[in-house]
Structure 1
């Protein structure tokens, strides 16, 4: 009898396994039948009536299901498909994207994914909820605030336009595409995202302590000794500006290298002197740096990565006071710049550079004519001659030459803001940390070098000819053979090609307003 027990048990087990397998096949077949059967299109309207917080996505959802002839999008024979699970994880990880939004109907979505076994059978509401939240995710992470909001922030750079209906088909075939920096998001976004993760880890560990300095302190130089030096050393170690913390209170060369590194990535003067201003900068809390990273990730959402793929590009970052000339996506020239002062902000926009003007006249703007020139003439009859100026019909202009306020060359990209790049005789301004001094136009520290890069493939020009035209004292216009896009942007945090994050002063006080729009506290 005992010998029959084992075979009998095996037969029973085999019977139940077969039964379960048959049951699974029946369920899968039933699910597949439902997937192959379109649902009533009227249910889309009903869903958005019941989910008003998602109504703005109704148009995209309707386009999606019209394309799929009202078949289920988020189900396969095993239940909710792979990308559905990926999207759910992404929606629950928005904090990693620098976003603090409250996701609408997340509790409803949780019920779907927390009870996967009970939700294998296709459900219209669940499918529509996934679709609506897919468009919520792509808009929030890839596009950011709508155009009207960015214009309120005086951001007039062209916003990218993307369709996420077709993109979903690719993701449904290969869910891993969503992790491959897709959909034209500016690559800088992903660099800032990585730094955001690092700074959040610093925050979890307590960030950095406030540096307390002696009230009598004015500055520290190499060789000085103070408890404050030890605090600065610890602070720079936490932010990876020095490799180790010796805890020494003596200002040595290792700490000096860290101070130089920090100054470079903060837009400060290249100096090893520890000043009150530097300590104030070092005392900006890690929470504030995190907010700055999040705000600038949002700005990255507003620019398509396609801009970096142009053959040539001139980019100016206002808070960094820096111009970069790119060729084939690689930086070939960096130049310090002077931008508009707070009362005459340089506008955030783009236009195509078309002309270079050698030895330019400066046509005095009406505002400067009324506020400065005409009062000067009243006080001093020789005012125009002393400033190399002359009447030109009803206007005043400054003659070409070394005293001209535009210097010896200007670069024109016609625009309604009347902004352009130009040389300047006031070279000393480039030695200052804060360089917001102009009436709105952008003064370039390396104008000759910029002209050489722009004209490097133009056989009509070489360095000698460029310098000769600049110093001829006669205005000469040259039309570029290839128009070059000029982008004037505003980023207070930027990660360089070496992976080092740079923080810049919010010269026009734009960060806090944007943070408020993003609900970043």
Structure 2
């Protein structure tokens, strides 16, 4: 026990000296529990081990250990709120819901038991502390899952004990939480989708479709009535359609195409292996997918600005947001599974038209050097120059390539000249980072037509990059389609700085709600959902930010 805690415990004993009464006052019981927590003891109430071991003593010390929860209506509101934590994708058990209900029932049957009153009060405060912590920061610490995570997990100067008191003093704890967090329309839309899918589960979910040959329009098959039922349940096929017909008609084809669109599948109206697999994902699996992505929103919602760029890696799409509205979006290509685009946040500072491309070490080792070792003329076919440490060009024919390999790279930069075949295309968007990752144009434009677009070595290739550049530069008189084209025609590199740096967020979400009427599910291309779900379903534990008040991190 540190000196501060020792002094506080001593002060508590002086303020409330022990009584010989067998019936302790509520204040004395709260004091005792606080002292035990400060001394480092494991303290439990009705089997619940108190996790807010520094917040509870501080909170009640400020109140001179008087009970905080006096209004039965307010208590019932919060107990109901904690019991509905599943609506947030969370677990009511993390907030001791059943234990509080049990203790409250006992307390209301015997309101003269001050000892029990104190324990109910402390357990309610513990529950509110846990619930608020999860809604503010999320249950899972993303930094534990991804070493690249660099969003702030700051307390932002918040004093947890003061926030708890403000919530209790408010007319409605639920309203206080909603107003304080201001989670925005996307969070509430995903939350509504979770409710919709839980309702589908309560109604029995949807049937599984048996495996078999690919189902195509015009075919008749005993599985088709099951397909119809499956699509009607999720609204992809109108209820007015003939649910018993075994024939794959045009109405069913349109329903299949709608389903395929919502699940990022090729919209061919044919039920092949991929479409069948997506249809047979269970309602429980979809519910967990939605819960995982609600948690991901909680990780970042505190950091959202009025204007930013966001790439959803799993959706293969990039967006420009202004005033919480999408003003531009485009299909994107992201990193392959073995060269995954990292999740992180940066500040875009400038664009470069007609860029050169300096080959990063990883790509040099794995892709370029093996081809050069086979044929040094490969560099010429790719418009690449060798540049030495002094900035001079080196003739590839003069290099003894036998000396180099994956374990020993040559002492040169491999630089691709500007032009239509440059790997970065005609413009790149730079937000300096240690990953050598940025957004850029590409000569591989045909790949945008693919549904799954994980083709790059980690960078994000964006479609319609010159539209993007015009919007970012935000100066139509100086930067418009004509002036940009003139710049490109020169084939000379030109760096242009933004008026102000703009935040770029590379995120990973397998649920999308860009369209208010449609929920979209994306393949978990990097297999990350399960790594979030496991701790989301795990035991409660605090992982408080390092800048929390001193009393919290003792």
- Shorter-chain TM-score bucket reads 0.7 to 0.9
Q: Give the corresponding residue for 1:380.
A: 375
Post-superposition Cα deviations, 1:178-204, rounded to whole Å, max 9, x if no partner, equal 574641435433222221222122122
Cα deviation, residue 384, structure 1: 1.3
| Structure 1 unmatched ranges of 5 or more | 1-33
Whole-Å separation in 2 of the counterparts to 1:252 and 1:174: 57
Whole-Å separation in 2 of the counterparts to 1:286 and 1:382: 56
Q: Give the corresponding residue for 1:391.
A: 386
Whole-Å separation in 2 of the counterparts to 1:59 and 1:292: 34
**Pairing partner for 1:145 from 128, 139, 147:** 139
Q: How many residues are matched?
A: 478
Contact 1:344 1:440 in 2 (8 A): yes
**Pairing partner for 2:352 from 330, 352, 357:** 357
Q: Give the corresponding residue for 1:471.
A: 489
Post-superposition Cα deviations, 1:365-384, rounded to whole Å, max 9, x if no partner, equal 12222333233223223211
Contact 2:351 2:430 in 1 (8 A): yes
Work out whether 1:190 is the aligned partner of 2:180: no
| Structure 2 unmatched ranges of 5 or more | 1-24, 389-411, 539-554
| Matching of residues 143-222 of structure 1 within 5 Å | 143-147=137-141, 150-152=144-146, 155-159=149-153, 161=155, 163=158, 164-171=160-167, 172-175=169-172, 176-178=174-176, 180=178, 182-185=180-183, 187-213=185-211, 215=212, 217-221=213-217
Q: Give the corresponding residue for 1:119.
A: 111
Q: Give the corresponding residue for 1:264.
A: 261
Whole-Å separation in 1 of the counterparts to 2:177 and 2:308: 28
Cα separation, partners in 2 of 1:173 and 1:366, compared to 1, 3 Å: closer
Whole-Å separation in 2 of the counterparts to 1:105 and 1:236: 39
| Matching of residues 6-405 of structure 1 within 5 Å | 41=31, 43-46=33-36, 49-51=42-44, 54-75=49-70, 80-100=71-91, 102-103=93-94, 106=97, 108-115=99-106, 116=108, 118-119=110-111, 123-147=117-141, 150-152=144-146, 155-159=149-153, 161=155, 163=158, 164-171=160-167, 172-175=169-172, 176-178=174-176, 180=178, 182-185=180-183, 187-213=185-211, 215=212, 217-221=213-217, 223-244=218-239, 245-247=241-243, 248-305=245-302, 307=304, 310-393=305-388, 394-405=412-423
Q: SS at the partner of 2:442?
A: coil
**Which runs of at least 4 in structure 1 moved beyond 6 Å after TM superposition?**
37-40
Whole-Å separation in 2 of the counterparts to 1:312 and 1:169: 34
Cα deviation, residue 97, structure 1: 2.4
Q: SS at the partner of 1:406?
A: coil
Whole-Å separation in 2 of the counterparts to 1:157 and 1:187: 21
Aligned Cα RMSD in Å? 2.8
Cα deviation, residue 153, structure 1: 7.6
The TM-score with structure 2 as length reference comes to 0.79
Post-superposition Cα deviations, 1:21-80, rounded to whole Å, max 9, x if no partner, equal xxxxxxxxxxxxx99x898745412366422965441222233234434432112xxxx4
**Pairing partner for 1:482 from 491, 497, 500:** 500
